[in-house]
Amino acid sequence: MNYTPQINYHEAVKRWCKRVEEYNNQCASVSYQRQIKLNGDVIERTITRKKGTIKAAVKATGMHLIAQYAEAWANANRHHHNMAHPDDVYLRTNRVEIGERLQRSPRSVYDHVQKLIEVGLISKYIFCGRQHSYRLWISPQILFGEKSEKAEKIVSKASKSPLSVSVRQNLPPSDISQKQPSTTIIAVDSGKTRKQQHGNNEDPHSLAQNANKPANSKPSTETRQPGGRGGDFLPPVDNTAPYAKFLRLPAYFKTLSLNFWLLARTTLYPGKQFSDHDNNEAVLAIVEGVFGGFRVNMTDREWDNYYNELVQRVNMASDWFHQNPHRHPDLPYQAGRKMGYFDPLNHFGFSTTATWLEKDKLRKRKNRVEYLLNAARIDFENLAAGKPRAKHIEKNELQLFVYYQNLAKPYGQDVVERFCEQYLKQKANNFRPAKRNTITIRAQKAADKKTAHVVYVESWMNEMGEGFYSDL
């Protein structure tokens, strides 16, 4: 059997669904009569049902265990120099944990596990005690397929289409082009990074990926020419309309598209296998959804700045999925009626990160303004006390005022007015430090107890006829 460093989850699920269908077809059929009233007449109907079939809930539990085992398999191979063996890799869990994830009772999970053992999805089961987890081994035939199945599958030459087009994000195109000499994205290396092979058993959206996030590079001023950056990434010629339109883009834009997809694939889809066709569709969706088909007329420096913002948005999305491990991004391209993750009309997709980035910029700007005003207040107090900082030791009051006024101007007129108002209040107080309330928590509680609380009530509620009373 041909083992791989990572389990192709989609192929394993297909094999599992096929086995469920075969098992249900072999189940015995049971017929019984049922009386039905129709327009006042009693009609007997023969109803035939299969007995002992695998229900949808049991099928979903099996898919969940396959996903968990795939992460454990990838995590085990990350620590092995050679390929791990299925007998050495197991899934340690319990029915309470599975029930919380799938919103089922522990008793239902117990029945599902027994059924999965009967069907053959769970090839080995070891119970570790009532208060401990149990170990599960998933059938290698479902995870990796039979030899005959591997022989039937022939790798199609779909690489004629632009397998991975560089989508413009915050990654430096020049650096990534040196690390990715190939023009195709191979399914074997998808979901991996140079330092970590994703899909571990701890968290599908681990922040350990941040170690692989590329650093921002200096903006480039190169002209967009066919022989420029990205010339080595040109995919084979394809006569289909979407790919032909992509091939007409400048090489610089192609490199940006490819780099962005490499970043998004390893960051947002760790451990997920993408075929050549999936890579092509994802790149085309990114070109239109993220870059707008490069129809906006901008310089290379402006495109680099926009790319750096996209990298920040990808990192923000990765952090959000790490904090919400039960949520996963949609497919990067449209699948049926469901919009892709990079579709600008998908309000639950990548377009939402633009709002997150704007809010983050406002928050950082507010923090910088507050820091500037606080530093100005302290420097004026130190200057009046004869203890200025070393960088302001040769400045007088007017020079220090002009210095901070120039620092406040880039933030807008409202910040300049706040600084001037703060300066006038300090000057009226002879730049003396403001007194702060240093009362302790215990003293504050004691003062609250001594304070009388007056509660107003209606006149009919008080027997004495008064309209208020004290609760002391």
Q: What is the pLDDT of residues 445-467, one digit of tens each?
A: 888 777 655 655 555 555 555 54
How far apart are alpha carbons 304 and 255 in whole angstroms? 12
Give, as one character, the DSSP assignment of residue 205. Answer: T
3-state secondary structure of 296: coil
User: Pick the residue with more confidence: 222 or 285?
Assistant: 285
Tell the residue number behind the tokens 């009609």, with chain if given.
43
H or E segment at 64? helix 56-78
Looking at residues 115-133, what average pLDDT do you find?
81
**pLDDT tens digit sequence for 311-362:** 999 999 999 999 998 888 999 988 888 889 999 888 889 999 999 999 999 9
* pLDDT band, very low/low/confident/very high, at 437 (cuts 50, 70, 90): low
How far apart are alpha carbons 2 and 146 in whole angstroms? 8
| Percentage of the chain modeled with pLDDT above 70 | 72
Whether 41 has a pLDDT exceeding 70, the answer reads yes
How far apart are alpha carbons 434 and 53 in whole angstroms? 77
Please tell me the predicted confidence (pLDDT) of residue 82. 66
| Range with the poorest average pLDDT among 96-100, 178-182, 341-345, 377-381 | 178-182
How far apart are alpha carbons 212 and 202 in whole angstroms? 18
How far apart are alpha carbons 251 and 234 in whole angstroms? 7
- Among left, alpha and beta (phi > 0; psi -120 to 50; other), residue 293 is left
Report whether 143 contacts 66 (CB < 8 A). yes
Residue type, 201: N
Looking at residues 8-14, what average pLDDT do you find?
86
pTM assigned to the model? 0.44
- Strand segments, DSSP code E, in 40-146 are 41-50, 91-93, 122-127, 134-138
User: Pick the residue with more confidence: 409 or 195?
Assistant: 409
Looking at residues 375-387, what average pLDDT do you find?
92
**pLDDT tens digit sequence for 349-375:** 999 999 999 999 999 999 999 999 999
Which residues fall within 8 angstroms of residue 317, CB to CB, at 6 or more apart?
Answer: 267, 268, 329, 350, 353
How far apart are alpha carbons 2 and 374 in whole angstroms? 65
Radius of gyration of the chain (CA): 33
H or E segment at 418? helix 413-428
